[in-house]
Chains A and B, each alone.
Chain A
Amino acid sequence: MYKGERMVLRFSRGQRVAHWALAVSFFVLLFSGLTLMIPSLAPLAKGGVARMIHRVFAVVFMLVPVYYALADRKGLQALITESFRYDRDDLLWLLRMPRYFFGRVKGMPPQGRLNAGEKIHHALIILTFITISLTGLVLWFGKGNLSQNEFLGMVMLHDIAMYIMVILTIGHLYFTFVYGALQGMVTGYVNEKYAALEHAKWLASIKAEKTADGKLPQSKSA
């Protein structure tokens, strides 16, 4: 573990709330949805309870970006733009991804606030978020008025988006625990040494901000 180092703010309050709201609603949606896929969970779906829960949390889920936009508009913009902008280092990083997968950071190209893996993760989450939300809305409000094919098309897209999200989430959790990154999303702060190791470009950019006005605004002592 990193010890005795200074901490740098990596996630704003808005970002953290959005992350956890999304995470919680995602898991509730996942398990309430699975009652309609795994026969042994079917009894839980009886009487429409699972459906009710699924709908309530679908609303929470879909409101997360709205909340994010209100709480931290810049953050949301940055998230979207960063997720789809890749430089040379990013590509190189992706090439060396297997190293990173097995816990080796050293030798990876320097990264910004988000590493290339995180960017891809975010990009895919954004895409699947849109897909799963839209198909979900169509299934919800189009109930009874869809043709067989429309219905099946929607269900399948909804499913595919779900599989992708689940696999991404597995990867996300994996890296979180391999690299002990949970703390960052809980408190918002990361260890400066960790930042230097994993997000060198980003650390450099905030240090540059510091030199401009004389202090490091996003940091505190551990």
Chain B
Amino acid sequence: MTKQFGFLMDTSLCVECQACRVACQMQNQLPHNRTLIRFRFQETGSYPAVTNHITRITCMHCQLAPCVKICPTGALVKGENTLTYLAPERCSGCGYCAQICPFKVPQALDNRSYKCMACRELVEEGKEPVCVSTCIANALKFGERAELLKSAEKRVAALQKTFPNAQIYGREQMGGLGMLLILRDDPAVYGLPVAPRAAGELAFWKDSLQPTGFKLVGAALLATGASYAIASRNHRRELSEE
């Protein structure tokens, strides 16, 4: 069995310094107005008892990734380590991934999709993705998902003393997220779907409807192809009978 790798973001440690965003832009040669890491800030409470909830809008590396399922060109694939990789050179920019993603992460711009590419080369060399290695606040970790979950549990237990709703996000969602988040409050506060899902219709479409459609087309071709010689001979015969 392959090992699941993933990220862990402790949102309670983020200082919104944007180092990860810029480092990621460097790693992926993105121009200044394209980014794979966006941030969402949400205040709760009222002055002075206020909390600033921070989360990154970036690929969650779902185990059951609808973007991989829907991608018609194979630009989105699952690595052996279960991370979701994007090969922009195969991407047609159809934007299906952007529309199907329950987290609204991919962006279809400039005829391609923009989403975390999971620093494939670095990871395959055994290094950390660049957002993790650059995080100055230790808010990001990378490693075996099981290990990350363990450390997240510890951290959440500590946080619960101050934030009773503190929790891990991504343990179960979408078959388990490769981007685990430590939250101080309910996911909804962070603008995260509590129960994200890959619409069941996606599987029906890709696994049943499309193959059936193709089979019917095939059958029609076969039937007409096979009958053509007989039919046209019959027709010619009828004409000559006149």
Taking Cβ atoms with an 8 Å cutoff, the residues of A that contact B are 1-2, 35-37, 39, 42-43, 45-48, 50-51, 101-106, 143-144, 146, 148-149, 151-153, 155-156, 159-160, 162-163, 166-167, 170-171, 173-174, 177-180, 193
Contact = CB atoms under 8 A, between A and B. Distances in A.
Contact of B242 (A144, A171, A193): A193
Given A149-B199, A152-B199, 20 more contacts: A36-B72, A37-B72, A42-B73, A42-B74, A42-B90, A43-B73, A46-B73, A46-B92, A48-B93, A51-B94, A105-B235, A144-B98, A152-B201, A156-B205, A160-B213, A163-B216, A163-B217, A171-B220, A179-B235, A180-B235
B238 A105 contact: yes
B210 interface: yes
Contacts of A143: 95, 99, 108
Interface string B178-208: 0000000000000000000001011011000
Contacts, number: 131
Contacts of A51: 92-94, 111
Given A103-B235, A170-B220, A39 B73 contact: yes
Contacts of A166: 217, 220
Contacts of A144: 95, 98-99, 108
B12 to A, nearest CB: 30
A163 B228 contact: no
Contacts of A47: 92-93, 111-112
- Binding site secondary structure of chain A: helix
A103 B95 CA distance: 46
Interface of B: 66, 72-75, 89-96, 98-100, 102, 108, 111-112, 199, 201-202, 204-205, 209-210, 213, 216-217, 220-221, 224, 227-228, 230-239, 241-242
A127 B99 CA distance: 27
Contacts of B89: 46
Contact of B201 (A103, A105, A149): A149
Contacts of B217: 163, 166-167, 170
B91 A46 contact: yes
Contacts of B108: 143-144
A152 B102 CA distance: 13
B113 to A, nearest CB: 11
